[in-house]
Structure 1
Amino acid sequence: MKNPGFLTLRLPPVIGAALDAAARASGVSVSGYARSAIVAVLPDAATLPPLPPSPSPPPRRPAIIPDADIAAIARFGGHLGRLTGAIVQLSKACRETGRIGEHESLESEIRDLRAAKVEVVALVQRLRVAEASTK
Protein backbone atom coordinates (compact mmCIF):
# COMPACT_ATOMS: atom_id res chain seq x y z
CA MET A 1 0.00 0.00 0.00
CA LYS A 2 1.81 3.11 -1.25
CA ASN A 3 -0.26 5.78 0.45
CA PRO A 4 -2.13 4.30 3.38
CA GLY A 5 -5.28 6.03 4.51
CA PHE A 6 -5.35 7.72 7.83
CA LEU A 7 -7.95 8.18 10.50
CA THR A 8 -8.29 11.05 12.95
CA LEU A 9 -10.05 10.14 16.14
CA ARG A 10 -11.13 12.22 19.13
CA LEU A 11 -11.47 10.41 22.40
CA PRO A 12 -12.59 11.50 25.86
CA PRO A 13 -9.57 11.93 28.17
CA VAL A 14 -10.42 8.79 30.17
CA ILE A 15 -10.56 6.57 27.07
CA GLY A 16 -7.45 8.22 25.63
CA ALA A 17 -5.54 7.52 28.85
CA ALA A 18 -6.73 3.89 28.85
CA LEU A 19 -5.64 3.49 25.20
CA ASP A 20 -2.25 5.02 25.98
CA ALA A 21 -1.77 2.70 28.97
CA ALA A 22 -2.73 -0.37 26.92
CA ALA A 23 -0.33 0.61 24.12
CA ARG A 24 2.53 1.12 26.57
CA ALA A 25 1.80 -2.22 28.20
CA SER A 26 1.94 -3.86 24.75
CA GLY A 27 5.19 -2.07 23.89
CA VAL A 28 3.84 -0.32 20.80
CA SER A 29 2.74 3.17 19.87
CA VAL A 30 -0.87 4.24 20.37
CA SER A 31 -1.33 4.19 16.58
CA GLY A 32 0.10 0.69 16.32
CA TYR A 33 -2.12 -0.54 19.12
CA ALA A 34 -5.21 1.04 17.52
CA ARG A 35 -4.35 -0.47 14.10
CA SER A 36 -3.98 -3.93 15.63
CA ALA A 37 -7.27 -3.58 17.51
CA ILE A 38 -9.12 -2.44 14.39
CA VAL A 39 -7.73 -5.25 12.24
CA ALA A 40 -8.57 -7.81 14.93
CA VAL A 41 -12.29 -6.99 14.78
CA LEU A 42 -12.62 -6.94 10.98
CA PRO A 43 -14.71 -9.82 9.55
CA ASP A 44 -11.89 -10.97 7.24
CA ALA A 45 -9.05 -10.34 9.72
CA ALA A 46 -7.62 -13.84 9.25
CA THR A 47 -7.11 -13.32 5.50
CA LEU A 48 -5.49 -9.88 5.76
CA PRO A 49 -1.71 -9.54 5.57
CA PRO A 50 -0.02 -8.85 8.90
CA LEU A 51 0.62 -5.26 9.91
CA PRO A 52 4.20 -4.02 9.87
CA PRO A 53 5.73 -3.52 13.31
CA SER A 54 5.06 -0.15 14.89
CA PRO A 55 7.85 0.88 17.23
CA SER A 56 7.31 3.33 20.03
CA PRO A 57 7.93 6.90 18.98
CA PRO A 58 11.44 8.22 19.58
CA PRO A 59 11.92 10.44 22.63
CA ARG A 60 11.41 14.12 21.99
CA ARG A 61 14.48 16.27 21.61
CA PRO A 62 14.83 18.99 24.20
CA ALA A 63 14.03 22.52 23.11
CA ILE A 64 17.03 24.40 21.79
CA ILE A 65 16.22 27.56 23.74
CA PRO A 66 14.44 27.30 27.11
CA ASP A 67 11.18 29.23 27.44
CA ALA A 68 12.74 31.39 30.17
CA ASP A 69 15.45 32.59 27.76
CA ILE A 70 12.91 33.46 25.07
CA ALA A 71 10.87 35.36 27.66
CA ALA A 72 13.99 37.24 28.80
CA ILE A 73 14.79 38.27 25.22
CA ALA A 74 11.18 39.38 24.73
CA ARG A 75 11.37 41.44 27.94
CA PHE A 76 14.60 43.00 26.66
CA GLY A 77 12.71 44.01 23.51
CA GLY A 78 10.06 45.65 25.70
CA HIS A 79 12.72 47.57 27.63
CA LEU A 80 14.26 48.64 24.34
CA GLY A 81 10.88 49.98 23.23
CA ARG A 82 10.42 51.95 26.45
CA LEU A 83 13.95 53.37 26.16
CA THR A 84 13.18 54.46 22.62
CA GLY A 85 10.02 56.21 23.82
CA ALA A 86 11.95 58.04 26.55
CA ILE A 87 14.58 59.21 24.07
CA VAL A 88 11.83 60.40 21.72
CA GLN A 89 10.49 62.59 24.54
CA LEU A 90 13.99 63.88 25.31
CA SER A 91 14.58 64.63 21.62
CA LYS A 92 11.28 66.51 21.44
CA ALA A 93 12.22 68.59 24.47
CA CYS A 94 15.62 69.40 22.94
CA ARG A 95 13.98 70.50 19.70
CA GLU A 96 11.44 72.68 21.52
CA THR A 97 14.15 74.39 23.59
CA GLY A 98 16.36 75.11 20.59
CA ARG A 99 19.06 72.53 21.29
CA ILE A 100 19.21 71.45 17.66
CA GLY A 101 22.59 69.65 17.86
CA GLU A 102 21.40 67.39 20.67
CA HIS A 103 18.07 66.88 18.90
CA GLU A 104 19.78 65.65 15.71
CA SER A 105 22.05 63.33 17.70
CA LEU A 106 19.08 61.88 19.59
CA GLU A 107 17.12 61.38 16.35
CA SER A 108 20.02 59.30 15.03
CA GLU A 109 19.99 57.20 18.21
CA ILE A 110 16.22 56.72 17.92
CA ARG A 111 16.64 55.29 14.40
CA ASP A 112 19.30 52.87 15.70
CA LEU A 113 17.12 51.80 18.64
CA ARG A 114 14.12 51.19 16.39
CA ALA A 115 16.25 49.07 14.05
CA ALA A 116 17.53 47.08 17.05
CA LYS A 117 13.96 46.58 18.28
CA VAL A 118 12.96 45.14 14.88
CA GLU A 119 15.90 42.72 15.09
CA VAL A 120 14.96 41.64 18.64
CA VAL A 121 11.34 41.00 17.61
CA ALA A 122 12.50 38.95 14.61
CA LEU A 123 14.87 36.97 16.86
CA VAL A 124 12.10 36.15 19.33
CA GLN A 125 9.83 35.01 16.49
CA ARG A 126 12.57 32.78 15.01
CA LEU A 127 13.27 31.24 18.43
CA ARG A 128 9.59 30.53 19.02
CA VAL A 129 9.27 28.87 15.61
CA ALA A 130 12.40 26.79 16.26
CA GLU A 131 11.10 25.79 19.69
CA ALA A 132 7.68 24.82 18.31
CA SER A 133 9.26 22.65 15.62
CA THR A 134 11.19 20.65 18.24
CA LYS A 135 8.09 19.80 20.25
Structure 2
Amino acid sequence: MKTIKVNIVTPDGPVCETDANTIIAATETGEIGILPGHVAMVSPLKIGALRLIKGDATEHVAVHGGFLEVRPDVVTVLAQSAEMASTIDIARAQAAAKRAEEVLSAKKGDKVAELELKRAINRINVYETRKK
Protein backbone atom coordinates (compact mmCIF):
# COMPACT_ATOMS: atom_id res chain seq x y z
CA MET A 1 0.00 0.00 0.00
CA LYS A 2 1.36 3.45 -0.91
CA THR A 3 2.36 5.93 1.76
CA ILE A 4 2.90 9.65 1.98
CA LYS A 5 5.50 11.38 4.16
CA VAL A 6 4.09 13.52 6.99
CA ASN A 7 5.99 16.28 8.80
CA ILE A 8 4.40 18.13 11.72
CA VAL A 9 6.32 21.22 12.78
CA THR A 10 5.69 23.92 15.41
CA PRO A 11 7.68 27.03 16.35
CA ASP A 12 9.32 24.84 19.03
CA GLY A 13 10.55 22.34 16.43
CA PRO A 14 9.48 19.08 14.80
CA VAL A 15 6.72 17.09 16.51
CA CYS A 16 6.48 14.13 14.16
CA GLU A 17 8.07 12.79 10.98
CA THR A 18 6.43 9.62 9.72
CA ASP A 19 4.72 7.92 6.79
CA ALA A 20 0.97 7.33 6.53
CA ASN A 21 -1.47 5.73 4.12
CA THR A 22 -4.13 8.36 4.85
CA ILE A 23 -4.19 11.69 6.69
CA ILE A 24 -7.42 13.20 7.97
CA ALA A 25 -7.28 16.83 9.07
CA ALA A 26 -9.74 19.37 10.46
CA THR A 27 -9.49 22.41 8.18
CA GLU A 28 -11.36 25.70 8.40
CA THR A 29 -13.71 24.47 5.64
CA GLY A 30 -14.27 20.97 7.07
CA GLU A 31 -12.50 17.63 7.34
CA ILE A 32 -10.21 16.60 4.52
CA GLY A 33 -8.78 13.19 3.67
CA ILE A 34 -5.40 13.01 1.97
CA LEU A 35 -3.98 10.01 0.13
CA PRO A 36 -0.61 9.57 -1.59
CA GLY A 37 -0.57 11.47 -4.88
CA HIS A 38 -3.08 14.10 -3.66
CA VAL A 39 -3.20 17.33 -5.65
CA ALA A 40 -1.03 20.14 -4.25
CA MET A 41 -2.88 22.54 -1.94
CA VAL A 42 -2.62 24.70 1.18
CA SER A 43 -5.37 24.96 3.78
CA PRO A 44 -5.71 26.67 7.16
CA LEU A 45 -6.26 24.29 10.06
CA LYS A 46 -8.63 24.78 12.93
CA ILE A 47 -8.21 23.48 16.45
CA GLY A 48 -8.85 19.76 16.05
CA ALA A 49 -7.50 16.27 15.67
CA LEU A 50 -5.16 15.13 12.93
CA ARG A 51 -5.35 11.40 12.22
CA LEU A 52 -2.47 9.52 10.64
CA ILE A 53 -3.65 6.13 9.40
CA LYS A 54 -0.99 3.47 8.84
CA GLY A 55 -2.48 0.16 7.85
CA ASP A 56 -4.66 -0.92 10.79
CA ALA A 57 -3.18 1.61 13.23
CA THR A 58 -4.18 5.25 13.69
CA GLU A 59 -2.08 7.89 15.41
CA HIS A 60 -3.88 10.94 16.77
CA VAL A 61 -2.36 14.41 17.02
CA ALA A 62 -3.91 17.43 18.76
CA VAL A 63 -3.33 20.38 16.43
CA HIS A 64 -4.05 23.95 17.47
CA GLY A 65 -4.32 25.99 14.30
CA GLY A 66 -1.78 26.57 11.59
CA PHE A 67 -1.58 25.44 7.98
CA LEU A 68 -1.56 22.20 6.04
CA GLU A 69 0.56 22.05 2.90
CA VAL A 70 -0.08 19.07 0.64
CA ARG A 71 2.19 17.95 -2.18
CA PRO A 72 1.81 14.63 -4.00
CA ASP A 73 4.60 12.99 -1.95
CA VAL A 74 4.61 14.91 1.34
CA VAL A 75 2.23 16.63 3.75
CA THR A 76 3.61 19.35 6.00
CA VAL A 77 1.66 20.66 8.97
CA LEU A 78 2.87 24.03 10.23
CA ALA A 79 1.01 24.33 13.52
CA GLN A 80 0.98 26.90 16.29
CA SER A 81 1.21 23.91 18.62
CA ALA A 82 0.73 20.16 18.24
CA GLU A 83 0.94 17.14 20.52
CA MET A 84 0.93 13.45 19.82
CA ALA A 85 -1.89 11.75 21.77
CA SER A 86 0.67 9.57 23.54
CA THR A 87 2.44 12.62 25.02
CA ILE A 88 -0.62 14.55 26.24
CA ASP A 89 -0.65 15.17 30.00
CA ILE A 90 -4.36 14.60 30.62
CA ALA A 91 -4.32 16.03 34.14
CA ARG A 92 -2.76 19.23 32.83
CA ALA A 93 -5.32 19.45 30.01
CA GLN A 94 -8.21 18.95 32.44
CA ALA A 95 -6.80 21.61 34.78
CA ALA A 96 -6.44 24.05 31.84
CA ALA A 97 -10.06 23.41 30.83
CA LYS A 98 -11.24 24.03 34.40
CA ARG A 99 -9.26 27.30 34.63
CA ALA A 100 -10.64 28.51 31.30
CA GLU A 101 -14.20 27.64 32.35
CA GLU A 102 -13.75 29.58 35.62
CA VAL A 103 -12.51 32.65 33.73
CA LEU A 104 -15.42 32.41 31.28
CA SER A 105 -17.99 32.10 34.07
CA ALA A 106 -16.60 35.28 35.65
CA LYS A 107 -15.94 37.16 32.41
CA LYS A 108 -18.22 36.11 29.55
CA GLY A 109 -16.82 36.65 26.06
CA ASP A 110 -13.14 36.49 27.09
CA LYS A 111 -11.54 35.49 23.76
CA VAL A 112 -8.31 34.22 25.33
CA ALA A 113 -10.21 31.98 27.76
CA GLU A 114 -12.44 30.71 24.93
CA LEU A 115 -9.35 29.79 22.89
CA GLU A 116 -7.70 28.11 25.89
CA LEU A 117 -10.88 26.11 26.55
CA LYS A 118 -11.05 24.94 22.90
CA ARG A 119 -7.41 23.87 23.01
CA ALA A 120 -7.84 22.02 26.32
CA ILE A 121 -10.98 20.24 25.09
CA ASN A 122 -9.17 19.25 21.89
CA ARG A 123 -6.29 17.78 23.89
CA ILE A 124 -8.71 15.86 26.14
CA ASN A 125 -10.68 14.53 23.14
CA VAL A 126 -7.53 13.43 21.28
CA TYR A 127 -6.20 11.72 24.42
CA GLU A 128 -9.49 9.88 24.97
CA THR A 129 -9.83 8.91 21.29
CA ARG A 130 -6.46 7.14 21.29
CA LYS A 131 -7.65 4.81 24.08
CA LYS A 132 -10.58 3.49 22.02
TM-score scaled to structure 1, two decimals?
A: 0.29
Max Rg structure: 1
Q: Which has the higher strand share?
A: 2
Q: Which has the higher helix share?
A: 1
- Could you say which structure has the greater relative contact order, defined with CA pairs below 8 angstroms and 6 or more residues apart? 1
TM-score scaled to structure 2, two decimals?
A: 0.30
